[in-house]
């Protein structure tokens, strides 16, 4: 794909999200799911294309409130195309390249810029992405209605703590101790494939990669030696102290990341009941469980409103990671 085609793909994925939002049919679907769906429709895209599309898509997601603030200040419509243009100007400073990117001369490129868009680009180019005039909740990409709660809980550290959430999240992987008990060996295996990382500071199971990389085509991934999981989730699962023979309920289990950690710590002995209202997430967890060689996890699909009455008092551990 050309750089222009990658940008067109981002605009189209954002347009899919907006159309579903306008039709009120996107309930429960997260941004990452929209991105994956968009990439799946573009199976011709190579790993570099996918990385570039994902990079711009997530930049727009992380800077959404600020981008919308700039467009509103200039009385410009908040559309997927304008959001992408604003990101390219304010975040990536590609103003000079935009006429060549939005071109009828390039296959699969976004449509050429019109006069209004040209004027918008000129106005955006004179602005800074982070503007002192922004309200605090806009500058920190935080819901306005949650600011009071954040300040009550974080105090003077509120700006620093919320600002820490605005950057790109690191990529962490976790060893599957049933198949690969030594994370340093995994680190060295990945380094041998050009993917550098270092042991995570808090989780004894993790390796933090220096940069994002495609991992699902690696033999170590296919063999179930490791999985992708952020360090916080690893630590949360370890703190549950699940032991062999226990009965564990993992409520809102999602794609099964914590169940995978606990099942491995339980040495496949005992039982984990992984409960979630999303069939899609449970199906994904099934794929991960099979790859990891886990067979003591029972997946249970429930309605959004369900009763736990029949399971009361039957578990040694109950884990709830509610969205």
Contacts 24+ apart (CB under 8 A), 92-100: 92/56, 92/59, 95/121, 95/124, 95/125, 100/4
What is the rounded (10 degree) CA torsion for 182, 184, 185, 189?
Answer: 140
> Residue 182: what pLDDT?
96
Q: Does residue 127 share a domain with residue 18?
A: yes
Q: Does residue 124 share a domain with residue 12?
A: yes
Q: Does residue 112 share a domain with residue 19?
A: yes
Interstrand relation of 271-276 and 247-251 (parallel, antiparallel or unpaired): parallel
Count of alpha carbons within 13 Å of 91, Cβ hemisphere only?
A: 20
Q: Does residue 312 share a domain with residue 211?
A: no
Q: Does residue 68 share a domain with residue 130?
A: yes
Q: Does residue 46 share a domain with residue 127?
A: yes
Closest among 84, 80, 83 to 20, alpha carbons compared: 80
Question: What is the domain range of residue 186?
Answer: 172-233
> Residue 44: what pLDDT?
84
| Domain termination site, one of 183, 204, 233 | 233
> Residue 287: what pLDDT?
94
Q: Does residue 222 share a domain with residue 247?
A: no
Residue 209 falls inside a structural domain: yes
> Residue 4: what pLDDT?
95
298 has which bridge partners? 273
Distance CA 235, CA 137 (A): 30
Q: Does residue 18 share a domain with residue 124?
A: yes
Which CATH number does the domain housing residue 185 bear?
3.30.70.1170
Distance CA 217, CA 65 (A): 35
Question: Chunked in runs of 10, what are the mean pLDDT values of the chain (323 residues)?
Answer: 94 93 75 89 84 94 97 97 97 95 92 96 96 96 96 96 91 96 96 95 97 89 96 96 96 93 96 93 93 95 84 91 79
Q: Does residue 8 share a domain with residue 130?
A: yes
Contact by Cβ (8 Å): 193, 183 = no
Q: Does residue 185 share a domain with residue 130?
A: no
Residue 179 falls inside a structural domain: yes
Residue 35 falls inside a structural domain: yes
Residue 156 falls inside a structural domain: no
Give the length of the chain. Answer: 323
Residue 166 falls inside a structural domain: no
Q: Does residue 181 share a domain with residue 126?
A: no
Interstrand relation of 197-199 and 206-209 (parallel, antiparallel or unpaired): antiparallel
Buried b (16+ CB within 10 A) or exposed e, 220-259: bbeebbbbebbbebbbbbbebebeeebebbbbbbbbbbbb
Residue 307 falls inside a structural domain: yes
Contact by Cβ (8 Å): 91, 63 = yes
Q: Does residue 99 share a domain with residue 190?
A: no
Number of domains in the chain: 3
Kindly tell me the burial class for residue 87, based on how many C-beta atoms sit within 10 Å of its own C-beta (0-12, 13-18, 19 or more).
Answer: buried
| Domain termination site, one of 193, 214, 233 | 233
User: Any residues with CB less than 8 A from the CB of 142 and at least 6 apart, and which?
Assistant: 150, 162
Residue 165 falls inside a structural domain: no
Which CATH number does the domain housing residue 296 bear?
3.40.50.150
Residue 149 falls inside a structural domain: no
| Domain termination site, one of 183, 213, 233 | 233
């Amino acid at each position: 794909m050309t750089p222009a085609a990658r940008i067109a793909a981002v605009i189209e994925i954002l347009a899919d999200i907006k159309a579903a939002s306008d039709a009120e049919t996107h309930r429960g679907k997260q941004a990452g799911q929209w991105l994956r769906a968009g990439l799946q429709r573009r199976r011709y895209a190579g790993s570099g294309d996918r990385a570039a599309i994902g990079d711009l898509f997530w930049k727009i997601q992380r800077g959404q409130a600020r981008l919308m603030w700039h467009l509103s200040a200039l009385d410009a419509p908040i559309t997927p195309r304008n959001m992408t243009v604003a990101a390219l100007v304010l975040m990536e400073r590609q103003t000079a390249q935009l006429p060549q990117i939005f071109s009828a001369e390039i296959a699969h490129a976004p449509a050429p810029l019109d006069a209004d868009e040209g004027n918008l680009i000129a106005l955006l180019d004179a602005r800074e992405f982070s503007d002192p005039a922004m309200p605090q909740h806009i500058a920190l990409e935080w819901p306005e209605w949650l600011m009071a709660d954040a300040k009550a809980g974080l105090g003077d550290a509120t700006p620093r703590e919320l600002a820490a959430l605005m950057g790109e999240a690191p990529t962490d992987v976790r060893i599957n101790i049933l198949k690969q008990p030594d994370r340093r060996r995994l680190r060295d295996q990945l380094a041998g494939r050009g993917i550098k990382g270092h042991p995570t500071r808090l989780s004894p199971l993790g390796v933090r990669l220096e940069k994002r990389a495609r991992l699902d085509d690696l033999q170590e991934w296919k063999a179930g030696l490791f999985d992708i999981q952020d360090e916080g989730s690893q630590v949360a699962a370890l703190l549950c102290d699940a032991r062999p023979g226990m009965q564990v309920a993992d409520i809102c289990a999602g794609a099964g990341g914590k169940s995978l950690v606990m099942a491995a710590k339980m040495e496949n002995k005992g039982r984990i009941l992984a409960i979630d209202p999303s069939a899609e997430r449970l199906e994904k967890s099934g794929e991960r469980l099979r790859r990891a060689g886990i067979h003591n996890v029972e997946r249970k699909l429930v309605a959004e409103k369900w009763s736990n009455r029949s399971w009361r008092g039957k578990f040694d551990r109950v884990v709830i990671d509610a969205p």
